[in-house]
Structure 1
Amino acid sequence: MDYQTWQVIVYPSSTVTKNLTLRIVGFPGSLRFDHPTDLLVNSGRKNWELKDITRKSKVEFETLNDSAAEFDIGPLIADLDKNRPLRLSLPGLINDLPIPPYLVSEWRTLVQ
Protein backbone atom coordinates (compact mmCIF):
# COMPACT_ATOMS: atom_id res chain seq x y z
CA MET A 1 0.00 0.00 0.00
CA ASP A 2 1.21 3.50 -0.80
CA TYR A 3 -0.26 5.17 2.32
CA GLN A 4 -1.20 8.14 0.14
CA THR A 5 -4.56 9.81 -0.22
CA TRP A 6 -5.93 9.92 -3.76
CA GLN A 7 -9.04 11.29 -5.36
CA VAL A 8 -10.24 9.44 -8.45
CA ILE A 9 -12.85 11.10 -10.66
CA VAL A 10 -14.38 9.92 -13.94
CA TYR A 11 -16.33 12.44 -16.00
CA PRO A 12 -17.53 12.93 -19.59
CA SER A 13 -14.95 14.96 -21.50
CA SER A 14 -17.66 16.74 -23.50
CA THR A 15 -21.41 16.97 -23.72
CA VAL A 16 -21.34 15.94 -27.39
CA THR A 17 -19.34 12.71 -27.24
CA LYS A 18 -19.43 9.85 -24.79
CA ASN A 19 -15.67 10.01 -24.19
CA LEU A 20 -14.67 9.65 -20.55
CA THR A 21 -11.73 11.10 -18.68
CA LEU A 22 -10.26 9.67 -15.48
CA ARG A 23 -8.57 12.21 -13.21
CA ILE A 24 -6.29 11.19 -10.36
CA VAL A 25 -5.41 13.87 -7.83
CA GLY A 26 -2.89 13.49 -5.02
CA PHE A 27 -2.33 15.77 -2.06
CA PRO A 28 -0.66 18.94 -3.47
CA GLY A 29 3.00 19.23 -2.59
CA SER A 30 3.42 15.58 -1.67
CA LEU A 31 3.98 14.33 -5.22
CA ARG A 32 4.51 15.48 -8.76
CA PHE A 33 3.31 13.68 -11.87
CA ASP A 34 5.73 13.60 -14.78
CA HIS A 35 3.78 13.83 -18.03
CA PRO A 36 3.20 11.85 -20.08
CA THR A 37 3.01 8.75 -17.88
CA ASP A 38 0.46 6.15 -18.93
CA LEU A 39 -1.79 4.56 -16.32
CA LEU A 40 -1.59 0.79 -15.99
CA VAL A 41 -4.85 -0.98 -15.16
CA ASN A 42 -5.16 -4.64 -14.21
CA SER A 43 -8.15 -6.88 -13.61
CA GLY A 44 -7.29 -10.54 -13.25
CA ARG A 45 -5.67 -11.61 -16.51
CA LYS A 46 -6.70 -8.45 -18.38
CA ASN A 47 -4.44 -5.41 -18.63
CA TRP A 48 -4.91 -1.96 -20.11
CA GLU A 49 -2.63 1.01 -20.63
CA LEU A 50 -4.51 4.31 -20.54
CA LYS A 51 -2.99 7.29 -22.33
CA ASP A 52 -1.99 10.34 -20.30
CA ILE A 53 -3.96 13.29 -21.72
CA THR A 54 -3.05 15.78 -18.98
CA ARG A 55 -1.13 18.16 -21.24
CA LYS A 56 -4.06 18.41 -23.64
CA SER A 57 -6.45 19.02 -20.73
CA LYS A 58 -4.10 21.52 -19.11
CA VAL A 59 -4.14 23.65 -22.27
CA GLU A 60 -7.94 23.70 -22.15
CA PHE A 61 -8.30 24.05 -18.36
CA GLU A 62 -5.39 25.78 -16.64
CA THR A 63 -6.71 24.54 -13.29
CA LEU A 64 -4.69 21.31 -13.27
CA ASN A 65 -1.58 21.37 -11.12
CA ASP A 66 1.41 19.00 -10.91
CA SER A 67 -0.39 16.76 -8.40
CA ALA A 68 -3.11 15.84 -10.93
CA ALA A 69 -3.15 13.64 -14.01
CA GLU A 70 -5.84 12.81 -16.56
CA PHE A 71 -6.26 9.71 -18.68
CA ASP A 72 -8.50 8.56 -21.52
CA ILE A 73 -10.56 5.81 -19.84
CA GLY A 74 -12.84 5.24 -22.85
CA PRO A 75 -11.01 2.17 -24.23
CA LEU A 76 -11.13 0.47 -20.82
CA ILE A 77 -14.85 1.12 -20.28
CA ALA A 78 -15.66 -0.03 -23.82
CA ASP A 79 -13.75 -3.28 -23.21
CA LEU A 80 -15.48 -4.11 -19.91
CA ASP A 81 -18.49 -6.42 -20.04
CA LYS A 82 -18.77 -6.79 -16.24
CA ASN A 83 -18.29 -4.66 -13.17
CA ARG A 84 -14.96 -6.18 -12.23
CA PRO A 85 -12.54 -4.84 -9.60
CA LEU A 86 -9.64 -2.88 -11.06
CA ARG A 87 -6.14 -2.12 -9.86
CA LEU A 88 -4.47 1.11 -11.00
CA SER A 89 -0.75 1.80 -10.99
CA LEU A 90 1.53 4.59 -12.14
CA PRO A 91 5.24 3.68 -12.25
CA GLY A 92 7.08 5.37 -9.40
CA LEU A 93 3.95 6.98 -7.91
CA ILE A 94 1.11 4.52 -7.33
CA ASN A 95 1.89 0.86 -6.75
CA ASP A 96 -1.65 -0.43 -6.30
CA LEU A 97 -4.82 1.65 -6.14
CA PRO A 98 -7.86 -0.66 -5.90
CA ILE A 99 -11.13 0.32 -7.57
CA PRO A 100 -14.14 -1.69 -6.31
CA PRO A 101 -16.79 -3.15 -8.67
CA TYR A 102 -19.53 -0.75 -7.49
CA LEU A 103 -17.41 2.20 -8.66
CA VAL A 104 -16.72 0.52 -12.01
CA SER A 105 -20.50 0.08 -12.33
CA GLU A 106 -21.00 3.84 -11.85
CA TRP A 107 -18.34 4.62 -14.46
CA ARG A 108 -19.98 2.28 -16.97
CA THR A 109 -23.34 4.02 -16.56
CA LEU A 110 -21.77 7.29 -17.75
CA VAL A 111 -21.58 5.98 -21.34
CA GLN A 112 -25.12 4.60 -21.52
Structure 2
Amino acid sequence: MVNIIRRILTVGILTIFLFLGLGDFTGQSAIALTTKIEPVPEEILYSSQTKLDDSSGKVWQVVLFKQVYLGQKSNINLRLVGFPGSEELIHPQPLRITSNTGQIWDAPDIFLDEAPAPTIGQYDFNEILPILPTEPLNLAIPLPGAKSINISVPLNVVKEWKLLTINNKVKYE
Protein backbone atom coordinates (compact mmCIF):
# COMPACT_ATOMS: atom_id res chain seq x y z
CA MET A 1 0.00 0.00 0.00
CA VAL A 2 2.88 2.36 0.81
CA ASN A 3 4.43 1.68 -2.60
CA ILE A 4 1.18 2.54 -4.37
CA ILE A 5 0.86 5.81 -2.46
CA ARG A 6 4.51 6.63 -3.17
CA ARG A 7 4.00 5.96 -6.89
CA ILE A 8 0.86 8.07 -7.02
CA LEU A 9 2.65 10.95 -5.29
CA THR A 10 5.63 10.65 -7.63
CA VAL A 11 3.43 10.72 -10.74
CA GLY A 12 1.44 13.61 -9.25
CA ILE A 13 4.55 15.67 -8.52
CA LEU A 14 6.00 15.00 -11.97
CA THR A 15 2.66 15.93 -13.54
CA ILE A 16 2.66 19.23 -11.64
CA PHE A 17 6.18 19.98 -12.88
CA LEU A 18 5.13 19.19 -16.44
CA PHE A 19 1.98 21.27 -16.02
CA LEU A 20 3.99 24.26 -14.83
CA GLY A 21 6.47 23.80 -17.64
CA LEU A 22 9.38 23.05 -15.30
CA GLY A 23 10.08 19.76 -17.07
CA ASP A 24 10.58 21.34 -20.48
CA PHE A 25 12.86 24.22 -21.37
CA THR A 26 12.21 24.18 -25.13
CA GLY A 27 9.46 26.80 -25.05
CA GLN A 28 6.80 24.39 -26.34
CA SER A 29 3.33 25.40 -25.18
CA ALA A 30 1.53 22.04 -25.26
CA ILE A 31 0.39 20.84 -21.88
CA ALA A 32 -0.75 17.28 -21.32
CA LEU A 33 -2.94 16.14 -18.48
CA THR A 34 -2.28 12.79 -16.81
CA THR A 35 -5.07 11.06 -14.95
CA LYS A 36 -5.54 7.78 -13.14
CA ILE A 37 -8.98 6.26 -12.71
CA GLU A 38 -10.41 2.89 -11.75
CA PRO A 39 -13.39 2.44 -14.12
CA VAL A 40 -14.21 -1.06 -12.85
CA PRO A 41 -12.85 -3.18 -10.00
CA GLU A 42 -9.43 -4.68 -10.76
CA GLU A 43 -8.80 -2.27 -13.66
CA ILE A 44 -6.75 0.92 -13.56
CA LEU A 45 -6.65 3.35 -16.47
CA TYR A 46 -3.77 5.82 -16.75
CA SER A 47 -4.02 8.44 -19.48
CA SER A 48 -2.18 11.44 -20.87
CA GLN A 49 -4.38 13.82 -22.82
CA THR A 50 -3.52 16.95 -24.78
CA LYS A 51 -4.58 18.92 -27.86
CA LEU A 52 -2.05 19.34 -30.67
CA ASP A 53 -2.25 20.97 -34.09
CA ASP A 54 -1.40 19.12 -37.27
CA SER A 55 0.77 20.70 -39.96
CA SER A 56 -2.30 22.30 -41.61
CA GLY A 57 -3.49 23.90 -38.34
CA LYS A 58 -6.28 21.42 -37.53
CA VAL A 59 -6.63 20.50 -33.85
CA TRP A 60 -6.39 16.90 -32.64
CA GLN A 61 -7.03 15.45 -29.21
CA VAL A 62 -4.11 13.12 -28.48
CA VAL A 63 -4.72 10.54 -25.74
CA LEU A 64 -2.17 7.95 -24.71
CA PHE A 65 -3.68 5.49 -22.27
CA LYS A 66 -2.60 2.40 -20.41
CA GLN A 67 -5.10 -0.14 -19.08
CA VAL A 68 -3.89 -2.36 -16.25
CA TYR A 69 -5.90 -5.44 -15.25
CA LEU A 70 -5.32 -7.67 -12.26
CA GLY A 71 -2.99 -10.52 -13.26
CA GLN A 72 -2.73 -9.50 -16.93
CA LYS A 73 -0.29 -7.63 -19.12
CA SER A 74 -1.04 -3.90 -19.43
CA ASN A 75 -2.37 -2.51 -22.70
CA ILE A 76 -1.08 0.82 -24.12
CA ASN A 77 -2.83 2.66 -26.97
CA LEU A 78 -2.65 6.08 -28.59
CA ARG A 79 -5.98 7.57 -29.69
CA LEU A 80 -6.14 10.53 -32.08
CA VAL A 81 -9.43 12.39 -32.39
CA GLY A 82 -9.75 15.07 -35.05
CA PHE A 83 -11.90 18.08 -34.30
CA PRO A 84 -14.43 19.30 -36.88
CA GLY A 85 -12.79 20.05 -40.20
CA SER A 86 -10.04 17.44 -39.71
CA GLU A 87 -9.23 14.95 -42.43
CA GLU A 88 -11.05 11.60 -42.42
CA LEU A 89 -8.79 8.66 -41.63
CA ILE A 90 -8.64 5.41 -43.56
CA HIS A 91 -8.37 2.10 -41.75
CA PRO A 92 -6.38 0.00 -41.29
CA GLN A 93 -3.29 2.15 -41.71
CA PRO A 94 -0.31 2.21 -39.33
CA LEU A 95 0.74 5.38 -37.56
CA ARG A 96 4.31 6.35 -38.43
CA ILE A 97 6.32 7.79 -35.54
CA THR A 98 9.58 9.59 -36.34
CA SER A 99 12.11 10.89 -33.83
CA ASN A 100 14.26 14.00 -34.30
CA THR A 101 17.23 11.68 -34.79
CA GLY A 102 15.52 9.92 -37.73
CA GLN A 103 14.40 6.70 -36.04
CA ILE A 104 11.07 5.38 -37.40
CA TRP A 105 8.43 3.11 -35.88
CA ASP A 106 5.03 1.99 -37.22
CA ALA A 107 2.22 1.52 -34.69
CA PRO A 108 -0.49 -0.91 -35.84
CA ASP A 109 -4.00 0.46 -36.35
CA ILE A 110 -6.46 -0.96 -33.79
CA PHE A 111 -9.47 -0.24 -36.02
CA LEU A 112 -9.22 -2.90 -38.71
CA ASP A 113 -12.40 -1.95 -40.56
CA GLU A 114 -14.19 1.06 -39.18
CA ALA A 115 -13.62 3.56 -36.39
CA PRO A 116 -16.33 5.00 -34.12
CA ALA A 117 -16.10 8.21 -36.20
CA PRO A 118 -14.23 9.06 -39.43
CA THR A 119 -11.74 11.35 -37.67
CA ILE A 120 -10.70 8.86 -34.96
CA GLY A 121 -7.65 6.61 -35.05
CA GLN A 122 -6.31 4.30 -32.37
CA TYR A 123 -2.89 2.66 -32.45
CA ASP A 124 -1.13 -0.09 -30.49
CA PHE A 125 1.77 1.39 -28.49
CA ASN A 126 2.55 -1.69 -26.34
CA GLU A 127 5.88 -2.43 -28.03
CA ILE A 128 6.72 1.11 -29.15
CA LEU A 129 6.32 3.30 -26.04
CA PRO A 130 9.01 1.58 -23.93
CA ILE A 131 11.62 2.07 -26.67
CA LEU A 132 10.71 5.59 -27.80
CA PRO A 133 13.46 8.11 -27.09
CA THR A 134 12.68 11.04 -24.83
CA GLU A 135 12.75 13.69 -27.53
CA PRO A 136 10.18 15.50 -29.69
CA LEU A 137 8.37 13.19 -32.11
CA ASN A 138 6.37 13.46 -35.30
CA LEU A 139 3.21 11.41 -35.87
CA ALA A 140 2.25 10.78 -39.50
CA ILE A 141 -1.22 9.44 -40.29
CA PRO A 142 -1.41 8.13 -43.86
CA LEU A 143 -4.09 9.47 -46.21
CA PRO A 144 -4.97 8.43 -49.77
CA GLY A 145 -2.63 9.57 -52.51
CA ALA A 146 0.66 9.40 -50.59
CA LYS A 147 -0.41 12.30 -48.34
CA SER A 148 -0.34 12.28 -44.56
CA ILE A 149 -1.44 14.24 -41.53
CA ASN A 150 1.60 15.29 -39.49
CA ILE A 151 1.39 16.10 -35.79
CA SER A 152 4.44 17.30 -33.86
CA VAL A 153 4.61 15.99 -30.29
CA PRO A 154 6.67 18.30 -28.05
CA LEU A 155 9.21 17.05 -25.53
CA ASN A 156 7.06 17.68 -22.45
CA VAL A 157 4.27 15.46 -23.84
CA VAL A 158 6.73 12.68 -24.72
CA LYS A 159 8.12 12.88 -21.17
CA GLU A 160 4.63 12.48 -19.79
CA TRP A 161 4.02 9.48 -22.06
CA LYS A 162 7.19 7.88 -20.76
CA LEU A 163 5.80 8.21 -17.20
CA LEU A 164 3.07 5.77 -18.21
CA THR A 165 5.70 3.05 -18.70
CA ILE A 166 6.52 3.32 -15.00
CA ASN A 167 4.57 1.21 -12.52
CA ASN A 168 3.86 -1.69 -14.88
CA LYS A 169 3.19 -3.89 -11.87
CA VAL A 170 0.30 -2.72 -9.77
CA LYS A 171 -0.53 -4.45 -6.48
CA TYR A 172 -4.17 -4.78 -5.53
CA GLU A 173 -4.84 -4.91 -1.82
Please indicate, yes or no, whether the TM-score normalized by the shorter chain is above 0.5: yes
* Rg (Cα) greater in structure: 2
> 2:148 aligned with 1:97, yes or no?
no
Counterpart code for 1:73 = F
Match of 2:60 in 1: 6
Match of 1:61 in 2: none
Match of 2:82 in 1: 26
Q: 1:85 to 1:46 in 2, by over 3 A?
A: same
1:1-112 counterparts in 2 under 5 A?
1-15=55-69, 16-28=72-84, 30-43=86-99, 44-55=101-112, 64-80=116-132, 82-92=133-143, 94-112=148-166
Query: Gaps (5+ residues) in structure 2?
Result: 1-54, 167-173
**More contact order relative to length (CA 8 Å, sep ≥ 6):** 1
Q: Secondary structure at the match of 2:127?
A: helix
Match of 2:37 in 1: none
Aligned length: 106
Please, what TM-score do these two structures have when normalized by structure 1? 0.80
Please, what TM-score do these two structures have when normalized by structure 2? 0.54
Q: Aligned-pair distance for 1:57?
A: 9.6
Counterpart code for 2:140 = S
Q: Aligned-pair distance for 1:55?
A: 3.9
Query: Gaps (5+ residues) in structure 1?
Result: 59-63
